[in-house]
Structure 1
């Protein structure tokens, strides 16, 4: 078996790694000496910019196109990952899978369309499940998986029912992955960010002063989260010394609604 160890290159595959929390996570991992394969949907220029920023840290990086809503493309994507591993790192496996890519829909239950619900399902729940399945043969024994949930799976805010339902599914899926992949020494955890100042959801938390102040007022540490809060947490979770953390939901929210 291909055990993840100190002699093999540590490589992370991060979906949605060209921007937002995925990019921040990629940069934190790169500073820890981890190579990065990041995915993007359509903005190749942004992806290449992130690759350049990772390269500036001294780490190697590759950007690959992937639409999480199109599970039929996952076998071909796995082939592209296999080729990138060989050409860039002369490796056959990668160490860490960070299922980060996603999108948001804000609508009350009464106003949520079936099309919007299906899009959330295809990207967040079905996409995470079947992408992990397709990539499992390429993950090193002893590796790690981090699935991204949300604080909204614990507390409820109007307008996020469909999104939060998918994230609740991610949290259950994580425990099953940890149970089934444990024989290969693969630890699987969920990281659940609180409200973060990014362009996610149209930049609502970042750009709307009223919402920003509301979130800060409901957070024990008195401010809204920043991308560095999440990227640093994921990178820390994936460090070699933290391999005994498994099947856990780790909320990184500064203490929202406690």
Structure 2
């Protein structure tokens, strides 16, 4: 009786791959033999450092500039993806990790329409329409992961604009899982807890008091680091997890369980 293969697909697109969780994801995929096209917005030098590290691990990798908040640029970006794939002898890719995003910690009473619109463009609209644009070139049986946050489950002061848009992204995940099921494409949410990166101005990484507070309410007794998240994403994308679909998976070390 034939058995179902669990061979790892070999090309991923990771948005926001030059730093933090995205960087860890690209490098974790490289260690598994998966090549990546990743995006950066304002840090070309950091992007090239990721390229060098991934290539050292033996993977093909390309860095493309993209502002996820500017949906008018998506057609050009997809053309660049197609060109990169052609250089690699491929027409399609297998994984999409929608990681790029921004945070905000403005009190509700002070949130402006401009600020909320920016949260929407980057954290929801950009993900929605970039995924739509890439659908024609993702393989059937592929995988999509949307990166959310633990604060859709927990209330973090002054995070209403950010958390609301990430909550919308979690709803989108479930709908995409249903819509793309006939193509065998799984769609899941990964929701990290606080991680010591430059996200949110590096507050968890650089503020010892905040780091200590996070550790105190986390079952494993510390704040997260990027390599708590990237390898988990790479593992979730693997064939062994092909039956995991339409799920929100929190990766927070047991924060406020």
TM-score by length of 1: 0.96
Aligned length in residues: 253
Q: CA deviation at 1:163?
A: 0.3
Q: Are 2:97 and 1:103 aligned?
A: no
**Cα distance between partner residues in 2 of 1:60 and 1:6:** 21
Give the SS at the match of 1:54.
helix
Q: CA deviation at 1:194?
A: 0.2
Q: CA deviation at 1:114?
A: 1.7
Q: Are 2:196 and 1:197 aligned?
A: yes
Give the SS at the match of 2:63.
strand
Cα deviation digits, residues 141-199 of structure 1 (max 9, x gap): 00000000000000001111100001100100000000000000000000000000001
Residue of structure 1 equivalent to 2:208: 209
Give the SS at the match of 1:48.
helix
Cα deviation digits, residues 1-36 of structure 1 (max 9, x gap): xxxx77896101000001110000100000000001
Q: Are 2:67 and 1:67 aligned?
A: yes
Q: Are 2:182 and 1:183 aligned?
A: yes
Residue of structure 1 equivalent to 2:136: 137
Residue of structure 1 equivalent to 2:252: 253
Q: CA deviation at 1:46?
A: 1.3
Q: CA deviation at 1:111?
A: 1.4
**Cα distance between partner residues in 1 of 2:252 and 2:27:** 20
Q: CA deviation at 1:76?
A: 1.2
Contact map agreement 1:9 1:35 (CA 8 A) in 2: no
Deviant stretches of 4+, over 2 Å: 5-9
**Cα distance between partner residues in 2 of 1:74 and 1:235:** 25
Written as runs of structure 1 = structure 2, the 5 A alignment for 1:230-241 is 230-241=229-240
**Cα distance between partner residues in 2 of 1:45 and 1:208:** 26
Q: Are 2:47 and 1:38 aligned?
A: no
**Cα distance between partner residues in 2 of 1:181 and 1:132:** 11
Contact map agreement 2:8 2:238 (CA 8 A) in 1: no
Residue of structure 2 equivalent to 1:49: 49
Give the SS at the match of 1:25.
helix
RMSD between superposed Cα atoms in Å: 1.2
Contact map agreement 2:173 2:189 (CA 8 A) in 1: yes
Cα deviation digits, residues 41-77 of structure 1 (max 9, x gap): 1221211111111000000100111101110111111
> CA 1:147/1:7 → structure 2, altered by over 3 Å: closer, same or farther?
closer
Unmatched segments (≥5 aa) in structure 1: none
Q: Are 2:156 and 1:149 aligned?
A: no
TM-score by length of 2: 0.96
Unmatched segments (≥5 aa) in structure 2: none
Contact map agreement 2:194 2:252 (CA 8 A) in 1: yes
Q: Are 2:157 and 1:158 aligned?
A: yes
